[in-house]
Structure 1
Amino acid sequence: MIKPTDTSEPWRVGVLFSRTGFMSVIEETQLRGTLLAIDQINDSGGINGRPLEPVIYDPGSDTRSYGQLAKRLMVVDEVSTIFGCYTSASRKSVLPVVERLNGLLWYPTLYEGFEFSPNVIYTGATPNQNSMQLCSLLMKLYGDRFFFIGSDYIYPRESNRIMREMVARSGGSVVGERYVRLGASRLEFEPIMQEIKLAKPDVIFSTVVGDGTVFLYQAYSDKGFDPKKMPIASLTTCEAEIAAMGHDVGEGHLTAAPYFQGIGNNQNSEFVKSYQKRYGDDAPTNMCLESSYFQVNVFAKTLERANSLETPVLRAMVMGSEFEAPQGAVSINPNWAHADLWSRVGRANRNGQFDILFESRTTVKADPFLIGSGRCTVAAAAV
């Protein structure tokens, strides 16, 4: 039951990210971005004089636990708004809970698209905001023979299906496709490296997530492959994984994302400064952290106007909302309840950061069902 608005009690919200298990390498940073935003809002007086109070649970990288803890948040803790989830599998676990109990999940991670729910606000990138741009740049710079490797769950399989279609439409081919289990060990990547050596692709497209990302790139390095000739390109490998695998291991590989720490604008400079003041000068920011941060701010602006945590009220009022995020100005697209975001492609350097190879001129409108998307073309690139 939602508390009345004429009270000084805190606004309670749920937070559902893994601090333990194989997904903690990235979800810990999402938790940090969420809490940084909450603390900044509270330091500024809260929302309509009331602080935000996070109710935090650690699902431990277990898919079923996300759904179970979402139910606990809504039934036991009486929370209706939840910030959380990285993998599509964890989102799918929470989805029936928020739909049945009429909660609102704010999902800050890139995903495969082709989903719409009246109980989710999607603030991560969809394929038309990252896959299309990456496909085009890879074919321009490296060649048209792709080898796919992903973690074995919904997001990698669906993302690879979409990328396969984009590659084929542009005259390319997929010369191999392999999947590893979530939580795969480093040894499990070694035979795949041998397959890649025999297949001789121009590009490796990775949708591996969690600790497996670190092991994939380390196995690649151990095999002696050269990223100047055959890089790993990803939608999921960000500054957090580069730091974990070693900057020398990550150097030369590509990622498509709305945000990189190295982009230059005042909002990002202040964001990085605030984050590193709290978590250490050597703590990198990343795309998933940034979307976790800005979505809390979008929520806060909406709650200030609505003065209610009722899901129908919040959802209706958030449509079309704009915010000056660290990546640049973003907005919630009222057609889909997905965010209109920037498109960028970066190449990792020896310092663990990304040099920008491509940047969209403005935000790219969310098109989760790829209704307006054709061949994988890039409107403007600076390489």
Structure 2
Amino acid sequence: MKRRSLIKAFTLTASIAAMGMTWTVQAAETIKVGILHSLSGTMAISETSLKDMALMTIDEINAKGGVNGKMLEPVVVDPASNWPLFAEKGRQLLTQDKVAVVFGCWTSVSRKSVLPVFEELNGLLFYPVQYEGEEMSPNVFYTGAAPNQQAIPAVEYLMSEEGGSAKRYFLLGTDYVYPRTTNKILRSFLHSKGVADKDIEEVYTPFGHSDYQTIVANIKKFSAGGKTAVISTVNGDSNVPFYKELANQGLKATDVPVVAFSVGEEELRGIDTKPLVGNLAAWNYFESVENPANKKFVADWKAYAKKHNLPGADKAVTNDPMEATYVGIHMWAQAAEKAKSTDVDKVREALAGQTFAAPSGYTLTMDKTNHHLHKPVMIGEIQADGQFNVVWQTEGPIRAQPWSPFIDGNDKKPDYAVKSN
């Protein structure tokens, strides 16, 4: 080979190598994080906004320099309200996309679908929604409420004079693990307060159920036996026809109040809320709470929705699982900074005791042993504009009880995270 050709060949090889190095360096410069939420199917009404909130939070962290000097790179997948697909997509995120952490799931059946995958591969999942408890995995951090941070206080409120002094309880839920386990806990709790089985009705409907005419008629009949409250664990888009049917049959909160555990500002966007005024929801955050952190959080979200032309951006709202998503991502970032690594074992250790000044107005703490947030409890009344007026709240954050004392044998369970399989 002539000298000139040799030099050209060497230069080309060096250039290609340099480009390859640049690509490798660029890839290494980012930290991939997974977003595992249903963007289609029955749960899209609730989960799409969590995906968007995760993206906004990632942008916020990147604008401040990222994590350990690296930008966060979101990897978004759509498990489409298909529970086995959650496990498949979770495995893809961990093994193919090599994400450092996953933020996702809404229903407990989706979380339980992915749990064996995360425990097998030592992945890290942040779960942002209230749930039934009875779980404490070293591979999951739970930023939503356990039953003692939502369900139990809500029923205590309904029993109180302030909450209407209910004597009978109609437990209505979607047919899966969260409503059934929560209602098992609530039935035991009600028994402890002297409520007899004849004063408790329990009804379940499938995901995507849309005909609530007979059920609402049965609620009216049941309420004839004494002061009644409905406790709703209906999930997803079924909430829209349920609330519409309440209005159709003229069942008002002054007659039979409904307290919901899975209905917030987002779910009410598609409903005329005027006939629903006075019905309740129990959460750990509402958009309407007034404090500087929440004012900024809400304003940032509305600006983000408008900038990215999100559906219904002109009426963009925040809700509890969105706040829990926001808090969880920030806590993970803080822990990764503290650990100076995104290694799962190091981040897990660094998460113990992490705190964050949340939009709820409280400083939330990640428990040092049980992987759950200490959270305040709030009960809000639906207003005509689809917002909630907080009518009751705890003085401060409450430590989660993942193992409910109202389920036999739980007093023997460990108060620290252990693998479930």
TM range (shorter): over 0.9
Q: Which residue does 2:127 correspond to in 1? A: 107
- Note the 1:192-341 alignment, pairs <5 A: 192-200=215-223, 202-279=228-305, 280-327=313-360, 328-341=362-375
Residue of structure 2 aligned with 1:154, choices 171, 177, 180: 177
Q: Which residue does 1:144 correspond to in 2? A: 167
SS in 1 for 2:288: coil
Q: How far 1:165 moved relative to its partner?
A: 1.6
Counterpart amino acid of residue 174 in structure 2: S
Q: How far 1:75 moved relative to its partner?
A: 1.3
Q: How far 1:132 moved relative to its partner?
A: 1.8
In 1: Cα distance, 2:264 partner to 2:193 partner: 27
Residue of structure 1 aligned with 2:384, choices 334, 350, 361: 350
Counterpart amino acid of residue 97 in structure 1: V
- 1:336-379 residue CA offsets vs partner (Å, 9 max, x unmatched): 01111111111111111111111111111111113499xxxxxx
Q: Which residue does 1:381 correspond to in 2? A: none
Q: Which runs of 5+ in 1 are unaligned?
A: 374-383
Change (3 A) 1:250 1:226: closer
Residue of structure 2 aligned with 1:164, choices 180, 187, 211: 187
In 1: Cα distance, 2:157 partner to 2:277 partner: 18
Change (3 A) 1:114 1:5: farther
Change (3 A) 1:256 1:5: farther
Find out whether 1:118 has 2:144 as its counterpart: no
In 2: Cα distance, 1:215 partner to 1:7 partner: 47
* Identity within the alignment, %: 34
Q: How far 1:8 moved relative to its partner?
A: 5.5
Change (3 A) 1:326 1:254: same
The answer to whether the 8 Å contact 1:5/1:307 transfers is: no
Provide the aligned C-alpha RMSD in A.
Answer: 1.8
**Which 10-residue stretch deviates more, 243-252 or 138-147?**
243-252
- 1:298-320 residue CA offsets vs partner (Å, 9 max, x unmatched): 01111112122211111111010
Change (3 A) 1:5 1:90: farther
Q: Which runs of 5+ in 2 are unaligned?
A: 1-23, 306-312, 408-421
In 1: Cα distance, 2:113 partner to 2:272 partner: 33
SS in 2 for 1:97: helix
In 2: Cα distance, 1:50 partner to 1:222 partner: 54
In 2: Cα distance, 1:153 partner to 1:73 partner: 26
In 2: Cα distance, 1:109 partner to 1:95 partner: 15
Q: How far 1:171 moved relative to its partner?
A: 2.3
Number of positions where the alignment pairs a residue of Structure 1 with one of Structure 2: 368
SS in 1 for 2:29: coil
Q: Which residue does 2:397 correspond to in 1? A: 363
Counterpart amino acid of residue 183 in structure 2: N
The answer to whether the 8 Å contact 2:355/2:366 transfers is: yes
In 2: Cα distance, 1:6 partner to 1:24 partner: 33
Q: Which has the larger radius of gyration?
A: 2
Counterpart amino acid of residue 74 in structure 2: P
Q: Which residue does 1:181 correspond to in 2? A: 206
In 2: Cα distance, 1:101 partner to 1:80 partner: 12
In 2: Cα distance, 1:164 partner to 1:33 partner: 35
Change (3 A) 1:324 1:281: farther
The answer to whether the 8 Å contact 1:26/1:240 transfers is: yes
